[in-house]
Amino acid sequence: VTNRVLAIGECMVELAPVGDALYRRGFAGDTYNFAWYLRRLLPAEWHVGYGTWLGTDAVSDELEAAIAGAGIDTAAIRRTDARTVGLYMIELRDGERSFTYWRSQSAARLLASDAAWLEAQLEGAALVLFSGITLAVVEPEHRAALLAALARARADGTVIAFDPNLRPRLWPDARTMCAALMQAAEVADVALPSFEDERRYFGDATIDATLERYRARGARTVVVKNGADAIAAWDVDEGKARLQPPRVAAVDTTAAGDSFNAGFFAARLRGASLTDALGAGARLAAVVVGHPGALVPAAVDAVTARETR
Ligand code: AMP
C-alpha cells in the first residue's frame, strides 16, 4: 500500500449560466470534485488519480487536460472512440438552480467493461473512493465486475471509501437503487452517507440508524453527514464521535459532501484521529457552501492557511 489515491466515476462537462443566454463551460462530477479537493489538500508526495473513460473527441481531450491541469494523475483514464463525455446544464429560475443531464450514453458507463484493466488501476492504491453515482452510471451488466474489483483491492489492503450519493433519477426505481447501494456498501471500509438522503429512501428514523445500517454491512468507519447539523461517526478502533459543523450562511451546497470527504481523508491519510478528520472535513465544506459552484480554490486556501498559522 502506497501514497496513491484513486477516485473512480464520471466527470461531466458543466454548462453554468452567466446571463443573457451565455454559459460558462466547466468540468465537474462528485468523484472528480473529491479528487480535485484532495489534490489541493495533500502534500506533493501523495499521488491523486482519477479513473474513468472518456471519448477521443476534442471535448474529451479538454476534459483530460483540465484534470491533468489540476495536478491529478490521468493514468487511469481510458479512451474509446465509440462514445463521448456526459453533459449537464444548470438553469436559474427565480434564484433556484435546476439541472438537466445528457449522460445516458457517456463513455464513463464503460468504466467496468474491462475488468482486468480496472483491477490493474486499483492495484496498490492506499485509498480508492467510489460513489453511488459511480455505481449508477456503470452499465448494469458490469456492476458485479466493479464491486469484485473493489473487493479484490480491499483484500489486498487498499482502503475502499464509498459515498452513497443517492440519485434516484439515475436508477429505474428507488428499490433497485437502495438494493444496489447496500450491496456496494459491503465492499466499503469507509461509508460516508448523508442523512437527509438516507432517511428519505431508506426510512431511517435517526442518524444512528443510518450509521448502524452501514456498520452492519461491514464498514470499519462510518461518517453520517447531516447538512448544517451534527455529524455522527463511528470507527471500529476509535468508537463513536459527533461533530457540529461551523455555522455559516450557505449560498450553494453543491459539492458540500465531496469537499467534506476530501477534507476528511486528507487528514485521515496523514494519521489524524476520527474527530480531527471530521473537523477538517467540516471546515472545508463550510467554506465551500459559502461560495457558488462546486470547485472553490479559495476554500482550500482558507483552510490550509488556518492549519499552517
Ligand atoms: P450534506 O451532504 O448536505 O450532509 O453536507 C455535507 C457536509 O457539508 C456536512 O456534513 C457539513 O459539514 C457541510 N455542510 C453542508 N451544508 C452546510 C451548512 N448549511 N452549513 C455548514 N456546513 C454545511
pLDDT of 71-120, one tens digit each? 999 999 999 999 999 999 999 888 788 899 999 999 999 999 999 999 99
Q: Write out residues in the chain with pLDDT < 70, as ranges.
A: 1, 306-309
Length reported for the chain: 309
CA of 136 to the centre of ligand 1 (A): 23
Residue 199's CB: how many other CB atoms inside 10 A? 17
Per-residue pLDDT at 178 = 98
Residue 95's CB: how many other CB atoms inside 10 A? 5
Per-residue pLDDT at 94 = 83
Query: Which residue among 73, 163, 197, 258 is the active-site one?
Result: 258
CA of 126 to the centre of ligand 1 (A): 26
- Tell me if 264 sits within 8 A of 224, measured CB to CB: no
Burial 270-305 (b: 16+ CB within 10 A, else e): eebebebbbbbbbbbbbbbbbbebbbbeebbebbee
Quote the mean pLDDT of the chain: 96
Residue 52's CB: how many other CB atoms inside 10 A? 27
Model pTM above 0.95: yes
Decide whether any atom of ligand 1 lies within 6 Å of the 263 Cβ. no
Dist CA 44 CA 48 (whole Å): 9
Instruction: Report phi then psi at 46, rounded to 5.
Output: -85, 140
Per-residue pLDDT at 275 = 98
Nearest partner of 129 among 192, 196, 177, judged by Cα: 192
Decide whether any atom of ligand 1 lies within 6 Å of the 226 Cβ. yes
Determine the angle formed by the axes of helices 30-41 and 297-308, rounding to 10 degrees: 30
* Joined grid coordinates for residue 190: 469507509
CA of 280 to the centre of ligand 1 (A): 12
Decide whether any atom of ligand 1 lies within 6 Å of the 257 Cβ. yes
- Known catalytic membership, residue 276: no
Nearest partner of 104 among 78, 82, 85, 80, judged by Cα: 85
Per-residue pLDDT at 309 = 52
CA of 85 to the centre of ligand 1 (A): 29
Per-residue pLDDT at 233 = 98
Dist CA 200 CA 268 (whole Å): 29
Best substitution site from 253, 258, 264, 296 to test ligand 1's pocket, by max atoms within 8 Å of Cβ?
Answer: 253
